[in-house]
Amino acid sequence: MLLITGGAGFLGSNLAATLERNSRDKIVICDYINIQKEKNLKKRNSRKIVHPKNLLHFLNKHKKEIDTILHLGAISSTTEENINLVAENNINLPIKIWDWCGENNKRLIYASSAATYGNGSKGFDDDNSLKKISALVPLNLYGLSKHIFDLLVVSYLSKKNPKPRQWVGLKFFNVYGPNEYHKGSMKSVIAQIFPKAKIGKSIKLFKSHHPKYKHGFQKRDFIWVEDCVNIIIWFLNNKNINGIFNVGTGKARTFIDLVKNIFKNMDSKSQIKYIDTPKNIRKNYQYFTEAKVNKLRKAGYRKKFTTLEKGISLYIKDYLNSSNPFR
CA distances from 96 to 119, 148, 170, 315 (A): 30, 14, 18, 36
| Same domain flag for 80 and 111 | yes
Q: Are residues 57 and 101 in the same domain?
A: yes
If one counts the domains in the chain, the total is 2
Do 231 and 94 lie in one domain? The reply is yes
Q: Is residue 105 left, alpha or beta, with left meaning phi > 0 and alpha meaning psi from -120 to 50? A: left
* Interacting residues of 164 by C-beta distance below 8 A, sequence separation 6+: 98, 101, 102, 105, 106, 107, 108
274 assigned to active site: no
* pTM for the whole structure: 0.95
Task: Please return the burial class of 232, using the count of CB atoms within 10 Å of its CB with bins 0-12, 13-18 and 19+.
Answer: buried
Checking DSSP bridges between strand 107-113 and strand 166-172, what pairing results, if any? parallel
Q: Of residues 183, 207, 264, 295, which has the active-site annotation?
A: 183
Domain shared by 282 and 265, yes or no? yes
DSSP 270-322: --EEEEPPPHHHHTT--SB-----HHHHHHT--PPPPPHHHHHHHHIIIIITS
Residue 130 shares a structural domain with residue 262: no
Both 269 and 169 in one domain: the answer is no
326 in any annotated domain: no
User: Residue-wise over 36-48: b if at least 16 C-beta within 10 A, else e?
Assistant: ebebbbeebebee
- The CATH number covering residue 246 comes to 3.40.50.720
Question: What is the rounded distance in angstroms from the CA atom of residue 85 to the CA atom of residue 37?
Answer: 20
Transcribe 184-248 into DSSP letters: GGGS-HHHHHHHHHHTTPPEEEEPP-STTS-TT--EE-EEEHHHHHHHHHHHHH-TT--EEEEES
**Domain harbouring 192, CATH code:** 3.90.25.10
Residue pLDDT tens, the chain, 327 long: 999 999 999 999 999 999 998 877 899 999 999 999 999 998 888 668 999 999 999 999 999 999 999 999 999 998 899 999 999 999 999 999 999 999 999 999 999 999 999 999 999 999 989 999 999 999 999 999 999 999 999 999 988 889 999 999 999 999 999 999 999 989 999 999 999 888 888 899 999 999 999 999 999 999 999 999 999 999 999 999 999 999 999 999 999 999 999 999 987 777 899 999 988 888 888 999 999 999 999 999 999 999 999 999 999 999 999 999 999
In a domain, 325, yes or no: no
Residue 215 shares a structural domain with residue 143: no
- What is the residue range of 111's domain? 2-175+222-251+291-305
**Alpha carbon of 257 to those of 88, 166, 175, 307, 314: distances in Å?**
38, 38, 16, 12, 16
Whether 134 and 200 share a structural domain: no
Share of the chain above pLDDT 90, in %: 84
In a domain, 91, yes or no: yes
**What residues contact 148, with CB distance under 8 A and at least 6 apart?**
91
Selecting among 117, 142, 176, 319, the annotated active-site residue is 142
Per the annotation, the verdict on 159 as an active-site residue is: no
- Phi, psi for residue 28 in degrees, rounded to 5: -120, 135
